Chains A and B, each alone.
Chain A
């Protein structure tokens, strides 16, 4: 389902004629009786930054390791650039990987680490030297070229690992939690650098991360994983605005969930009756459900409005009492206790310094949201 104007150029996944660069077809990986990756299918197009997003232990690394050839697939097929990868050894694949642990060669200098892959390709000495020094400048490690990995900080090691995996200009670069060891500020800077490098070199990236903000910033598309399965694939916008199910809604950003039953089911709207609200909830999009079906409605905190006055122009309005206030600088987040006892989170931007309405604990308030704000998600 696409909610944007599909332009095949920048969104090859919406172009039926586009051929995916990487195709993962029904891939399953079992360790003994334990299924680490379960029937995953995935298409990644040339020039994408595709993020695999999921909690720890959901099988992200295992999937990457199968793409690199370090693990055999139990069943299914992996096709890279039209070539079936079954039986292709890791050293023969046109892919490179940046490891979660960086995996730098401890006995080699930064320069030698980066040069290693080029030397294996049998490139002439002077070409190796040129490409290595280009890459060292790109990741700004000129001063550290002759240091060994243990003489570098975590951030510098991460850059060496990135440079080493990029220097061969692989068709497909896989990055396993590439920015995990960096602090927040450095991580944000590096994210933008990564995107720039990706654009300049035209390499296709598959990035693994458990950090949803990182996935939102970096990626052209995200595959959300849990328990070895991909539960939703889409652009950051699609994933955030139209989560396919409750897990995705919960995992990406914060969300209020109302459980209820469909009481009115039309082509362009549904009405849901919920015990958690006193009024019925109106959702301005159709669903493929039936009257009486149990559903959940997800509403993002920043799509809700909070006010002491009734909100006549909102489609859904509920009364409640403020239970908690969290001041976050650019916005405040209110926890509002509804009459049913349920708590909802409402985010309100702080546009002026003192705050336009001075809401505080115990205030009686109205919480409202538009018909388009909520989405019906499956359980």
Chain B
């Protein structure tokens, strides 16, 4: 009896953190075929030209390339925030192009975590409440959301800053809250677009080490756009984009 109780306890702990059994599935988390994006009507900008890309589950990948080469555009497509002009994107085997607006929202909430160059934290909410937000959107109750969120804030070394509002935190701290928020729903795929672009080297290294650790711990997939070659070199795989095309 005592043995089964103990196992149950552990199981519950794991359940909270790995709500998505997807993390343990095999196969590709992202499969992109012939993806193109054209902006504008009169003057056409080919932001992406027939991109093919697969990302394996658990991969920690960097996307690099010159400014304006289409990195953000690609990331927004993978994040189901934007729609392709041509081509297909499968996220966890599901065709994003066939999803309704509501399904897209739900998939973003359950499968994806985002960190952008600007943290975009809700200014009127504390660090803890900001991290709770994706869980509340997912329909979790307040108590559960608070307990998960405080765990993650501990992981990003902000245990003593939980009640602070964004304007009471430094840029690096805000960005760590944003990372914690991206991880709150234990997403299978985390997307970061120049997420350390505004940070000093120390903060930026802290965040990368953190992401790396979490990547190992929970087998989450990370796709990170960066300018910083040193950081890129630490990842599993570097994808280079030039002029809307993958060059290697």
Pair from one complex: no
What residues of chain B have their CB less than 8 Å away from a CB belonging to chain A?
none
What residues of chain A have their CB less than 8 Å away from a CB belonging to chain B?
none
